[in-house]
Structure 1
Amino acid sequence: MMLTTLRRRWRSTAAVSVVAGAAVVATALTMLPSTAAVTPKIAAGTLVGWAAQNGGTTGGNGGSTVTVTTASALDSALQASGARIIKVSGTITVSGMRKVTSNKTIQGVGSGSGIRGGGLSMSNVSNIIIQNLTFSGSSDDAINVQDNSHHIWIDHNVFTSATDGLVDIRLGSDFITVSWNITRSHDKTFLLGSDDSNTGDRGKLRVSYHHNWFDGTNQRHPRVRFGNPVHVYNNYYARTASYGVASTTEAGVLVEGNYFENVSRPTTLAQGTSPNGKLVQRNNHFVSSGTPMTNGTVNAIPYAYTLDTASQVKSIVSAGAGVGKLGL
């Protein structure tokens, strides 16, 4: 895993919570900064979290680079065999879900590139990076990860107004990081785990969600089944109408260092017919928001990470999330 060379100190994360009564995660080691700052401790564009584990995620590194401007050229590049770096120039209109094969990096060029009208689908594939794209108006999901896909990094994108989910991860998928994205104008945002009966998800659905900006979206930020531990840290929740994070059906979710502003239910448990999962909240910052719900303990986070001070997350994330921040 690539980390910046800032000076750090180590300590056990036996927790102190902003809200009393939060459960404590069994001693995980967390890398904390020696000094506070209002810029990200880990450089924007650096892979952290579950997608960096167990071999890491490199996408199309080592493959040829192709720039695409049409739907047909995009499809051809997405479905090519072998490693490929795909540069999306401008907004490409597609229909339905477009299949992505393994070992691909898909990056928007500049701040005005994206995919409109459809989305990207990953099924039984691995090693994919999606960055710097605006996804709008999909007739299904914006991004769908399923069928044991693994090592996926979804980073520095903007998602808005899909018909179904913005980023849905399900059906045995694993080792995924969703970072530095913005969501707007949507209801059911980030689903993790599709069905209470899908017990094959046990031991999988390990996802890190960090430094995302949930800007007025309604629910599922994320809504979790089975994954344990799922790590939700340093995200900015603004005007979230229904709820922030939901842990259900055997899930274990650590929610830490987030900034909740005007969120009546920052964290919650059972949803619909799904029973309570486990949820620990600690070191979060609440502005005009309700009391988070917690339940039990979750598995320890196995990787090192740098936690930004929660009160500074609004400034950090609103400055660094979304497209046009990576120099692509």
Structure 2
Amino acid sequence: MEQLSLFTEEIIKANPTATFTGTIPSIKPAGESIRKVIENIKEAYLDPSNSRPWVVTTSFGKDSTLLCVCTWVALLETPPEHRTRRIYFISSDTGLEHPNLTQYVRKSIRLMNESAKEQGLDCFEAVLVEPEAKEKFARKVIGHGLVLPTSKSPFRWCTDRWKIAPAERFIKLLVKRFGEVCVMTGVRHAESIKRSNSISKHGMKNQFIFPKTKPGKDKSSDQENRIIIKNRFESHPIADIRDSDLWDYLMQWSKFPWGGRFYEMYSFYSDQGECPMQVQEMKSTCGQSRNGCTLCMMIRDDGMLEHF
């Protein structure tokens, strides 16, 4: 597959010896809710009304891993001659995550690119995006003295500069090249009440893929409204998946379709002070801890740092 020249330095290339082998991973049985997600992805992928590429955002945590697995399975179940729509798996590297997490993400990106070649999924490409040099920690915080946000800060500028902006640059490049793009995220109602409200606010009921919107004002009434962003679409394929269904399905994959192992992903929850399986829905999976930037001042306790 032709690579996007602007981001070639950020693409973790597959082993040059990786070629089509015809070896297809065994597809694990899925419950009704997960199977519905896979079928929805297949139906949308084969939609003849458009050829816009998809961007599947992933941090390789439990939710985005489920989305990646469902997408991968959907394409394996799609006849090769119909795999014409391009799909980009992208992950943001701030340069400040714990080394173990960074290593896992980079390894996953590499395995995705290698396995896509070996399995004949030429429509797939995995990309690691990073902040521009002028936006990185050393320049912003050490060089310019910009203060890192705390839990009392009204705005998390670091999230926007180090995670969102790199992904946005990549997405805008795709829009320029293909005319349109659909971004898929692994958000779920069951994550928390706050996340559920956000999904309901930004999504559209009964639509698998819907136009991206942003806050704005209606010029005629001067009332707050949501404005459609041209050439941008979104999808929340696993929004209705419950925690129990998520873990039941992921645990069947001792090795994910691209070769990453379940226990590696799970260890970032179970072995580092996290609580991956809640008895009650609508609670934060990791309570008051988190696996993020090692210098983050938004959360008091970092389970990963305490573990290591």
Q: Normalising by the residue count of structure 1, what TM-score does the alignment of the two structures yield?
A: 0.23
The structure with the larger Rg is: 2
Higher strand share: 1
* TM-score relative to the length of structure 2: 0.24
If each structure's helix is expressed as a fraction of its own residues, which one has the higher value? 2
